[in-house]
Structure 1
């Protein structure tokens, strides 16, 4: 593994984007209003979001606790640690894409700008920590993913790479989503008459991590990698007797699910399981750890 250490100053730490760091920890905003990002507090249990990050000021405030401050103030509260201990934790999470302000902010950069430099075994400490925050065991991720080093707009980065059927990659790290050409679906074929469908590979990995101890879990799988590829996937999907859909709980995902259900009774919408969350991985991140052992029967 890559355990490279970098000396990080307090001032450098304070410049790190709180929104991006919370995403690294598995916390996504419940609502966004101008520069204000509202969360269910990472520091305590709550149902109504009262933890705010002002992205322009890069400061947080927890209305329930009556406390706030910069990223260091948050870190020592979140991890119950010293400033020095928190700086060491930050080294592990932010070391693979610097400087922070140069990181692309948009999701859909033109594909021709992204060039794959090399593919290696997933080993970066920072990427593995990211997977851990998403509740994905590294032994599951390494079965299906690689560490992909790539160049974008003359800058070099790396991330978790998930290969599609045409040899392109879906690439994820805490700050950036990208795809390399050619774009395509990913199929995992086990010779089953049942197929399970996911919108993105993080949900697929979540499913596999929940059912990792089931020897007889032999479903075929399709990861769309984009909802726009649903029609491309239909011939393979409909060659099966049963099609289980684990699409996102947003308007676009549910629209595709409704369309699929209208085609015939082969399709089964399984999104009710995570109906209060945006997708299967979001649900997995938020459930209690002790529940994980009992989840396989629900899927």
Structure 2
């Protein structure tokens, strides 16, 4: 399926993998049985998973609500919007706010079977437009990321790929995010005394954009690719004299920051820079939009 155009059709939206789409919204399955993926419902609070996606059919059903359907049916309920508003959202207008509901972390008992087909330079217009939306300079993204084409459930996709130390990829598109196996951390070592740590690679790219005038060799980095890899990364991080943390400002990120600070004086919390935002990239996006608005106003006068 080709999503190279900026506008997504109704039929294309229905074909988007629901499991990947829910992952993009922050929901992961609590259990997987063959083609059935079970979740704590994204549409309401519950303690036992009763929201099911049948991945073969690409359909969902919420047993508590007695409702189900395709991605369009889900999106209308989740965002409380019209079909046209949802299609705009899927086409790159990411203005919807997620409901403020707290969800626990889930254990995935089966990995998605993604097969990487090719790795090339980032050139697809839809991916470049997405990076622009995220306030990531193209030249920065092209230095650290590739464009990958991959198969999932016998369907072909493409996306932005960020490689980890084990050879797997974090994968992003304007529509969803996922990862290929093996999943792990990404380290960039230049033999400095200080290391800078991020949860995800979008924050890392934002930081590189902010510090693009500094020599790359002057900084060492760890990108966890999942906050749950914090413990796995500790042996590498704690070899440094100083560890600067740029974790998310959500409950999980703040909890891990507090834990790190309790472990050693080497750790330093740098998230105050974007204390009123979700993460570093969210802050950078807000700054970029304000700057663009200012330039637009100047051009009008």
Q: What SS does the corresponding residue of 1:277 show, helix, strand or coil?
A: coil
Aligned positions of 1:268-287 closer than 5 A: 268-287=268-287
Q: What SS does the corresponding residue of 1:261 show, helix, strand or coil?
A: helix
Give the structure-1-normalised TM-score. Answer: 0.65
- Gap regions ≥5 residues in structure 1: 18-27, 36-53, 61-67, 76-89, 95-107, 293-299
Q: For residues 12 and 168 of structure 2, what CA distance do their matches in structure 1 show?
A: 34
Q: What SS does the corresponding residue of 2:182 show, helix, strand or coil?
A: coil
CA shift, 1:232, in A, is 1.3
Residues 59 and 70 in structure 1, CA contact (< 8 A), matched pair in contact too: no
The yes-or-no answer on 1:220 pairing with 2:220 is yes
Q: For residues 117 and 12 of structure 2, what CA distance do their matches in structure 1 show?
A: 29
Change beyond 3 A, Cα 1:178–1:69: closer
String of CA shifts for 1:41-99, please: whole Å, max 9, x gaps: xxxxxxxxxxxxx7249885xxxxxxx99349979xxxxxxxxxxxxxx6xx69xxxxx
Aligned residues: 228
Residues 126 and 174 in structure 2, CA contact (< 8 A), matched pair in contact too: no
The yes-or-no answer on 1:55 pairing with 2:76 is yes
Q: What SS does the corresponding residue of 1:116 show, helix, strand or coil?
A: strand
Q: For residues 239 and 247 of structure 1, what CA distance do their matches in structure 2 show?
A: 19
Residues 114 and 150 in structure 1, CA contact (< 8 A), matched pair in contact too: yes
Q: For residues 160 and 109 of structure 1, what CA distance do their matches in structure 2 show?
A: 25
String of CA shifts for 1:122-156, please: whole Å, max 9, x gaps: 11111010000000001000110000111111111
Aligned counterpart, 1:259:
259
String of CA shifts for 1:179-233, please: whole Å, max 9, x gaps: 1111110001111100000000000000001111223771100000111211111
Q: For residues 57 and 112 of structure 1, what CA distance do their matches in structure 2 show?
A: 24
The yes-or-no answer on 1:188 pairing with 2:188 is yes
Give the structure-2-normalised TM-score. Answer: 0.64
Q: Give the root-mean-square deviation of aligned CA atoms.
A: 3.9
- Gap regions ≥5 residues in structure 2: 15-24, 26-41, 45-74, 94-107, 293-301
Change beyond 3 A, Cα 1:74–1:151: closer
Q: For residues 195 and 266 of structure 2, what CA distance do their matches in structure 1 show?
A: 10
Q: For residues 88 and 154 of structure 2, what CA distance do their matches in structure 1 show?
A: 34
My pick for the range that moved more, 110-119 or 266-275, is: 110-119
